[in-house]
Chains A and B, each alone.
Chain A
Amino acid sequence: MSIEVDHIRKTYGTFEALQDVSLRIESGELVALLGPSGSGKTTLLRIIAGLDVPDSGTIRLNDEDATNSKARDRQVGFVFQHYALFRHLTVFENVAFGLRLRPKATRPSEEDIRGRVRKLLELIQLDWLGDRYPNQLSGGQRQRVALARALAVEPRVLLLDEPFGALDAKVRKELRRWLRRLHDELHVASVFVTHDQEEALEVADRVAIMNHGRIEQVGTPIEVYDNPASAFVYQFLGDVNLFHGRPEAAEAAAATIGYVRPYELDVARHSGATNGAVVASIRHIASAGPVVRLELMREDNGSSLDAEISRDRYRELALSVGDKVEVTPRNLRTFPSAHIS
């Protein structure tokens, strides 16, 4: 089922949480809402779920106007950041909750309910924990139970609010891959909110990057990463170095800022000649890990640069702290409105 967000606005007092946001999510798609805290991504998710009401604009589910329908009528599965499990119910009853409260006419039989819950618990690989209470589970287990609970009612849309935000890095990685596989099996439209760009780029079919209540760019991970629409998108999707407009670059105005990723900097030993390259000295080297990170200070204006080079290159150059290097950006980007907000 598709989700369509059409010119949604929402203000809290004087704070504009969403300013004219439009987005369409097709059935079977997994879309990430990515942005810093306060960018309005959770508000948007809650409005889609019917937990918040927009000031103006329309929400369409399956191309039907759902703006004024109640949360319980939307058939939306919502997974909260802090799980929101019913702590007075066992894991099994938590998952069965949505089925049990249906009116008699549409409620599956007790046998059916048991079967479906058991299947879901197997799906989240927690079938052995059915009679435990939520506060006897770990964070990752609770989040999986919350997901199973949302899936039990066979939602047409799955919405996840920072689903892995409260988990440690390793569990988070596991769970997001698991979520991706799960989504592919379910064929629903899924939206998840995150402030972790790595998570968004790895899992989502499309990423919507939000800032100050607006969507800055929507696209596949490759699109937004390779062709960022704004400086904000560029800096939000990864580490960035700033090159302030250099006088020798004739065509660039003085105020222009160039952006370059740390791994797009070529590093070479300083030869002594001034051939246009930026000269910098090494302040710190982090050599553990797949790439070697260099913290550099420009000789000409004292600003700092981060560079990432391969371990081979690092060994070849035999760098140590204090050495002078020449830095050449391979892929310098500029944006019309060059301010990172």
Chain B
Amino acid sequence: MGACSTRSTRLGNRLHTFKRPSILPGFWPAFGYTAIYLSLIVLVPLSAIFFKTATSSWEHIWTVVTSPQVVASYRLSFGASLAAGGVSVAVGFLVAWVLVRYEFPGKALVDALVDLPFALPTAVAGIALTSLYTENGWIGQYLAPLGIKVAFTPLGVIVALTFIGLPFVIRSVQPVLADADQELEEAASSLGATRWQIFTLVIFPLIRPALLTGFALAFARALGEYGSVIFIAGNLPMKTEITPLLIVTKLEQYDYAGATAIAAALLITSFILLLGINVLQRRTRKFLEPA
């Protein structure tokens, strides 16, 4: 009887409405609020970008978004953001692993430090990183003899963006790692798995969705980052100009349509990339779906 009635109500629901019976009330207020919030805070401002862009001619838009300087900035912005996201995933996973798996004095302090990049004004971070990595800075003076220049190069941009993106990965991975049952590793080990196999075949698949989430967040944040990057990048045209900087430059020249055109190009591309990551993430989470 139970199965039969569930099936018929489910079917009925699919036919009439997408609301499902639930213990907690408040579907419509919650859903309505979500829709209004998304519209007012996200969709309306974003669509304003496209409306503003549309005030200009297609020809103007096209010349702006494909001008060599802007294209070079796309390359830097997307390249550096992807690289920073990648580095954040590797380093962030390591930090999360240490924070979850090991006990050491000062652990609570380290845990709190992780969030600091969230709170720090990004310009402060940018200035601090720049002074550290210039040729006579604390770290830069040791890298210079090796021929590695960080400040005022694309590498500097990656460093700044990693600094900003790292907490996203750590905070995404940490709870999932903490939830991963140690018995799984023991089970794998008694089945004959080496440590490396335990990591690649058991632990990694479990945290892969969280790593992808962290990567998407870090990448998205890095793409829009402005404050910390402009100091360490040096902003050399065609070399170390990030796209957000060009948008600000256009604004300062009162070329609003040009600025929004670049913003629109940036938005569309990052939306496609994030959508791709989301689809990928959904695929890695297939095992969590009920029957």
Q: What residues of chain A have their CB less than 8 Å away from a CB belonging to chain B?
A: 49-51, 70-72, 74-78, 80, 82, 84-89, 97-98, 101-102, 132-136, 146, 149-150, 152-153
Query: Is B44 part of the contact surface with A, judged by Cβ < 8 Å?
Result: no
Q: Which 9 A-B pairs have the closest CB atoms?
A: A98-B191, A136-B291, A84-B183, A78-B190, A84-B187, A88-B205, A71-B189, A88-B287, A133-B287
Asked if residues A98 and B291 are in contact (CB atoms below 8 Å), the reply is: no
- Determine the distance from Cα of A86 to Cα of B187 in the docked complex, in whole angstroms: 9
A97 CB contact (under 8 Å) in B188, B288, B289: B188
Q: Which of B186, B197, B202, B289 has the most CB of A within 10 A?
A: B186
Counting CB contacts under 8 A, is B252 at the interface? no
Which listed residue, A72, A80, A152, touches B193 by the CB 8 Å rule? A72
Tell me if B245 counts as interface (CB < 8 A to partner A). Answer: no
Contact A101 B197 (CB under 8 A): yes
Q: Which residue on A lies nearest to B181, using beta carbons?
A: A84
**Residue B238 lies at the interface, judged by CB distance under 8 Å to chain A:** no
B residues engaging A (CB < 8 A)? 181, 183-184, 186-194, 197, 201-202, 205-206, 286-291
A-side contacts of B286, CB under 8 Å: 133
| Alpha-carbon gap, A19 to B188, bound state (A) | 29
Least Cβ distance of A114 to chain B in Å? 18
Closest to B290 in A: A136
Q: Is the CB of B184 within 8 A of A71?
A: no
Secondary structure of the A contact surface, majority rule: loop
Known: A80-B183, A84-B183. A135 touches B288 (CB 8 A): yes
Contact (A84, B184) CB under 8 Å given A89-B287, A135-B288 = yes
Report the Cα distance A133→B189, complex, angstroms: 21
Assembled-state Cα–Cα distance A97/B202 (Å)? 10
Bound-state Cα–Cα, A77 to B188, Å: 10
Chain B residues lying within 8 Å of A50, measured Cβ to Cβ, are 190
The reply to whether B291 and A71 contact each other, CB–CB distance below 8 Å, is no
Please list 10 pairs of residues, one from A and one from B, whose beta carbons are closer than 8 Å in the complex, sorted by A's number: A51-B189, A74-B190, A78-B190, A85-B187, A86-B184, A86-B187, A88-B287, A101-B201, A133-B289, A149-B191
Name the distance in Å between A171's Cβ and chain B's nearest Cβ: 19
Q: Which residues of A contact B291 (CB under 8 A)?
A: 132, 136
- Do A76 and B190 have beta carbons less than 8 Å apart? yes
Q: What's the dominant secondary structure at chain B's contact region? A: helix
Q: Is B191's CB under 8 angstroms from A101's CB?
A: yes
Min CB gap B209→A, angstroms: 9
Q: B189 near A72 (CB under 8 angstroms)?
A: yes
Q: Which residues of B have CB within 8 Å of A150? A: 190-191
Q: Beyond the given A72-B190, A86-B202, please list 10 additional residue pairs across the A-B interface where CB-CB is below 8 A.
A: A50-B190, A71-B186, A72-B191, A78-B187, A85-B187, A86-B187, A98-B193, A101-B193, A101-B194, A149-B191
Q: Which residues of the other chain, A, contact B194 by a CB distance below 8 angstroms?
A: 72, 101
Q: How many angstroms between the C-alpha atoms of A110 and B206 in the bound complex? A: 25
Report Cα–Cα, A77/B205, bound state, in Å: 23
Chain B residues within an 8 Å CB radius of A98:
191-193
Query: Which residues of B sit under 8 angstroms from A49, Cβ to Cβ?
Result: 190
| Cβ of B261 to closest chain A Cβ, rounded Å | 44
Hey, which chain A residues are within 8 Å of B192, CB to CB?
72, 75, 98, 101-102, 153
Task: Check B206–A88 contact: CB distance below 8 A.
Answer: yes
| A51 partner, pick from B186, B193, B201, B206, beta carbons under 8 A | B186
Separation of A71 and B181 alpha carbons in the complex (Å): 17
- Residues of chain A contacted by B186 (CB below 8 angstroms): 51, 71, 78, 80, 84
A108 to B186, CA, bound (A): 23
Shortest CB–CB separation between residue A59 and chain B, in angstroms? 14
A128 shortest CB reach to chain B, Å = 13
Chain A residues in 8 Å Cβ range of B187: 78, 80, 84-86, 146, 149
| Shortest distance between the CB of B170 and any CB in chain A (Å) | 22
The interface residues of chain B lying within 8 Å CB-to-CB of A101 are 188, 191-194, 197, 201
Least Cβ–Cβ distance between B130 and chain A, in angstroms: 43
Complex CA distance for A132 and B286, rounded to whole angstroms? 11
Contacts of A152 in B (CB 8 A): 191
Residue contact B206 to A97, C-beta cutoff 8 Å: no
CB distance from A133 to the nearest CB of B (A): 5
Contacts of A102 in B (CB 8 A): 192
Given the complex, which residues of B lie within 8 Å of A75, measured CB to CB?
Answer: 192
Cα–Cα, bound, A222→B148 (Å):
79
Chain A residues whose C-beta falls within 8 Å of the C-beta of B288 in the assembled complex: 87, 135
Q: Which residues does chain B contribute within 8 Å of A88, judged by CB atoms?
A: 205-206, 287
In the complex the two chains form, is A82's CB within 8 Å of B190's CB?
Answer: no
Q: How far is the CB of A37 from chain B (nearest CB, A)?
A: 17
Identify the closest chain A residue to B191 (Cβ). A98
In the complex, what's the smallest C-beta–C-beta distance from A190 to chain B, in angstroms?
Answer: 14
CA distance A87 to B188 in the complex (A): 13
